[in-house]
C-alpha cells in the first residue's frame, strides 16, 4: 500500500507535541489534500514541497496525495512540517525506505530549490524533546545546528537540503554533526543540574555591559532596598517625583543579580527563539548569562504584556523570566494589564486558556515598577508645589489596585536629593561589591531551602523563618502597621529573612532589627485619600 509515516513536532508554547505525518497515494486525478487542522502556513507547503522534490531530482507522483497531520485536534502552524511532508511523499512513492524514516524526527522549511531553511524555535523543540527523553534522532536545518547543539541529551543531525537528507536515509552519505561544545564554554555555565546559579565562573565579568550602581549618588535607602530585592528576588515599587533617579536605579538592578545558570540560560534562549529568528546566543556561541531586563512601554496591550493570541505567544513577563520586568509610569498601564500581573507574581507562571486548550509559560521575574506620587509628580517635593487636586490624586493612585500592591514586597520612596549628595559623596559603592553580598545570600538560601525567599510558600515560611523572643513580642504592632493580611505578614517575614541572609546569618531565626528594617520597606506608599 502506498502509505508512509514520518514524525515531526508541533510547538505549543514550550511543549513540543509529536505529530504523525501520514502520507497516502491513491489512484485518480492528481491532487494534493492536507488535513489535520493545518493553518495557512502549513497549507501553503503543498507548493513548496512539490517544487523542492522536483528541483532535488526526484519524480513528484502524479496521483491523489492525502497528507494527514495527526492528532487531528492539534492545531499545526509554521513551515516546519515541510521536510517531514516531502520525505513522507518520497517514502510513499518508494524512493526512500518507509521503515528507516521511523527512527527520525524532521523539522525544516523547504525553499523551492530544495534548500532547508532555518526555522523559528528549534531550540525550544530540542529542550522539550530532552525533557521527554526522546530516543529518535532529530534532523534539523543546518543553520539551527549551532544553537541547538547546547541541548546535549538528544541525538542531533543537520542537513542543508532535501537531496542530502534522502542520500543519508539511503546510506550514501553522513549528515552534519556539531563538534562537541568546548569544555571551557560548558565550564563557564553552571553545567550541573543541581548547582546553583551563583556557582558560575562568569560572575566576575557578567556585568561588563551593564550600568553600575557607582554612578548613582545619594539615594542610600533606595539602593539598600534594591539590594534586598536582588538578594531575595522580591518585587519593588519606586515612588517619587520626576528626576529623582527612579529609572537610573531601575536600570542598574540587573548588575547586582548573579548570572544565569546553564539550565536557566537555555530556557530563556528557548523563550526568545519563539519570537524571532535572531540567535539568542552571542558571537562565540555562548548563551547569554546576563539576566533579562524588559522595559515595555505603558501603551503595551495586555496580550503583549502577559502573552496571548489565537496561537498563544509568550509576553513580556515570560521574556523577563529569571530577570527584571521594569514598568515605568506604572499607573499609566491599562487596568486590565496590571491586574493580569497578579497571578504570575504569586505563582511564577502564566496560563493562557482557550476554548480547546491551555498553554503555560514561565514567569519568574522581579517586578520593578516606578511611578510618580500624583499626576504632576511633585506631591511631597520639598521645593516644588503640587498642582493637583485631591480628586486627581485619588483617581491617579487608584489606578493601581490594592490586591496588586499587596503582591509587591518592597516599597521605596525615592525623594529628591540635596545637591550636597552629588558633591560630598566621592565614590559610591560599585555593583560588584553589592553583587558579592547578593551571591552570598543566594548561596545561603539555596543551601537552606533550595529556592530563593520570594518563592517560599506558607508552609515553608513557617519552617524556615523562625522569630526570636524579642522579635515575637513585636509581631502584633508590625502586623497592624503592614495591614491585617496573612500575605502582608509573610511578605515582611520573607524580607526580614533576606536581610538576615545578607548579613551571612545561616540560622533559621530572624531578629528584631531584621523585622524593623523589613517594615521600613513594607510601608504603603499609596494611601486612601480623604476629602
Ranges of each domain in the chain:
3-169, 197-435
pLDDT per residue, tens digit, the chain (531 aa), is 589 999 999 988 888 899 999 999 999 899 999 999 999 999 999 999 999 999 999 999 999 999 999 999 888 988 999 999 999 999 999 999 989 899 999 999 999 999 999 998 888 899 888 888 888 999 999 998 888 888 878 899 999 999 999 999 999 999 988 765 544 454 445 433 334 444 444 444 555 567 889 888 888 899 999 999 999 999 999 999 998 889 999 999 999 999 998 888 888 888 888 876 555 565 445 667 889 999 999 999 999 999 887 777 889 999 999 999 999 999 999 999 999 999 999 889 998 887 777 888 999 999 999 999 999 988 888 888 889 998 999 899 889 988 899 899 999 999 887 666 666 556 778 999 999 999 999 999 999 999 999 999 989 998 998 887 777 777 777 666 666 577 878 888 999 999 999 999 888 888 888 888 998 898 776 554 443
- Contact (CB, 8 A) for 140 and 43: no
Instruction: Enumerate residues 6+ apart whose C-beta is below 8 A from 431.
Output: 207, 210, 212, 213, 214, 252, 255, 256
Please report the pLDDT score of residue 133 as a whole number.
83
For 368-403, how does the pLDDT look when each residue is reduced to its tens digit (9 = 90+)?
A: 999 999 999 888 888 888 899 989 998 998 899 888
State in Å, rounded, how far the first CA of the chain is from the last one. Answer: 84
CATH, range 3-169: 3.30.230.10
- Contact (CB, 8 A) for 137 and 102: no
Task: Name the DSSP letter for residue 391.
Answer: H
In degrees, rounded to 5, the angle at the alpha carbon of residue 275 between the alpha carbons of residues 271 and 278 is 95
Residue holding cell 522580591? 234
Residue holding cell 556557582? 199
Local structure of 388: helix, strand or coil: coil
Cα 105 from Cα 17, distance rounded (Å): 12
Please report the pLDDT score of residue 325 as a whole number.
96
Please report the pLDDT score of residue 528 as a whole number.
47
Residue holding cell 499609596? 526
Please report the pLDDT score of residue 526 as a whole number.
58
Q: How do 358-362 and 64-70 pair as beta strands? A: unpaired
- Contact (CB, 8 A) for 12 and 358: no
From the candidate CATH numbers 3.40.50.1010, 3.40.50.150, 3.30.2320.80, 3.40.50.300, the one assigned to the domain spanning 197-435: 3.40.50.300
Please report the pLDDT score of residue 199 as a whole number.
43
In degrees, rounded to 5, the angle at the alpha carbon of residue 108 between the alpha carbons of residues 22 and 355 is 65
Phi, psi of 293 (to 5 degrees): -130, 105
Phi, psi of 524 (to 5 degrees): -65, 135
**pTM of the model as a whole:** 0.86
Amino acid at each position: 500500500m502506498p502509505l508512509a509515516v514520518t514524525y515531526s513536532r508541533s510547538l505549543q508554547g514550550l511543549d513540543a507535541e509529536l505529530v504523525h505525518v501520514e502520507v497516502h497515494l491513491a489512484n485518480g486525478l492528481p491532487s494534493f489534500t492536507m488535513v489535520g487542522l493545518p493553518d495557512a502556513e502549513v497549507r501553503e507547503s503543498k507548493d513548496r514541497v512539490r517544487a523542492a522534490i522536483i528541483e532535488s531530482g526526484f519524480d513528484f507522483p502524479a496521483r491523489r496525495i492525502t497528507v494527514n497531520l495527526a492528532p487531528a485536534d492539534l492545531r499545526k502552524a509554521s513551515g516546519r512540517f515541510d521536510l517531514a511532508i516531502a520525505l513522507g511523499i518520497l517514502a510513499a512513492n518508494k524512493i526512500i525506505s518507509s521503515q528507516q524514516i521511523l527512527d527520525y524526527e524532521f523539522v525544516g522549511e523547504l525553499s523551492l530549490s530544495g534548500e532547508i531553511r532555518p526555522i523559528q524555535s528549534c531550540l525550544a523543540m530540542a529542550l522539550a524533546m530532552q525533557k521527554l527523553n526522546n530516543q529518535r534522532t532529530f534532523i534539523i536545518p543546518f543553520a539551527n545546528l549551532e544553537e541547538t547543539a547546547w541541548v546535549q541529551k538528544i541525538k542531533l543531525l543537520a542537513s542543508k537540503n532535501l537531496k542530502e537528507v534522502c542520500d543519508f536515509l539511503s546510506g550514501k552519505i553522513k549528515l552534519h554533526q556539531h563538534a562537541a561544545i568546548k569544555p571551557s564554554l560548558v565550564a563557564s555555565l553552571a553545567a550541573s543540574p543541581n548547582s546553583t546559579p551563583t556557582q558560575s565562573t562568569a560572575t566576575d565579568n557578567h556585568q561588563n555591559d551593564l550600568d553600575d550602581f557607582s554612578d548613582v549618588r545619594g539615594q542610600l535607602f533606595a539602593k539598600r532596598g534594591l539590594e534586598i530585592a536582588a538578594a531575595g528576588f522580591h518585587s519593588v515599587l519606586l515612588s517619587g517625583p520626576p528626576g529623582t533617579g527612579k529609572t537610573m536605579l531601575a536600570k542598574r538592578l540587573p548588575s547586582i543579580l548573579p548570572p544565569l545558570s546553564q539550565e536557566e540560560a537555555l530556557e530563556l534562549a528557548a523563550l526568545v527563539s519563539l519570537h524571532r529568528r535572531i540567535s539568542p546566543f552571542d558571537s562565540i556561541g555562548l548563551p547569554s548569562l546576563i539576566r533579562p531586563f524588559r522595559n515595555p512601554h505603558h501603551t503595551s496591550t495586555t496580550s503583549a504584556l502577559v502573552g496571548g493570541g489565537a496561537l498563544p505567544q509568550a509576553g513580556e513577563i515570560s521574556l523577563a523570566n529569571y530577570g527584571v520586568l521594569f514598568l515605568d509610569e506604572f499607573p499609566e498601564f491599562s487596568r486590565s494589564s496590571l491586574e493580569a500581573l497578579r497571578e504570575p507574581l504569586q505563582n511564577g507562571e502564566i496560563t493562557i486558556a482557550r476554548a480547546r486548550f491551555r498553554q503555560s509559560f514561565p514567569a519568574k521575574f522581579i517586578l520593578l515598577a516606578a511611578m510618580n506620587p500624583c499626576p504632576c509628580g511633585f506631591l511631597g517635593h520639598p521645593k516644588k508645589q503640587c498642582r493637583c487636586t485631591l480628586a486627581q490624586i485619588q483617581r491617579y493612585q487608584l489606578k493601581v489596585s490594592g490586591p496588586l500592591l499587596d503582591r509587591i514586597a518592597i516599597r521605596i520612596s525615592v525623594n529628591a536629593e540635596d545637591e550636597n549628595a552629588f558633591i560630598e559623596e566621592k565614590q559610591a559603592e560599585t555593583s560588584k561589591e553589592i553583587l558579592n553580598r547578593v551571591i552570598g545570600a543566594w548561596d545561603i538560601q539555596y543551601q537552606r531551602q533550595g529556592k530563593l525567599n520570594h518563592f517560599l510558600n506558607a508552609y515553608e515560611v513557617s519552617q524556615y523563618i523562625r522569630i526570636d523572643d524579642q522579635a515575637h513580642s513585636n509581631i502584633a504592632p508590625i502586623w497592624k502597621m503592614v495591614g491585617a493580611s496573612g500575605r502582608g505578614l509573610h511578605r515582611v517575614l520573607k524580607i526580614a529573612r533576606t536581610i538576615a541572609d545578607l548579613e551571612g546569618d545561616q540560622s533559621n531565626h530572624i531578629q528584631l532589627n531584621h523585622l524593623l528594617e523589613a517594615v521600613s520597606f513594607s510601608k504603603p506608599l499609596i494611601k486612601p485619600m480623604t476629602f
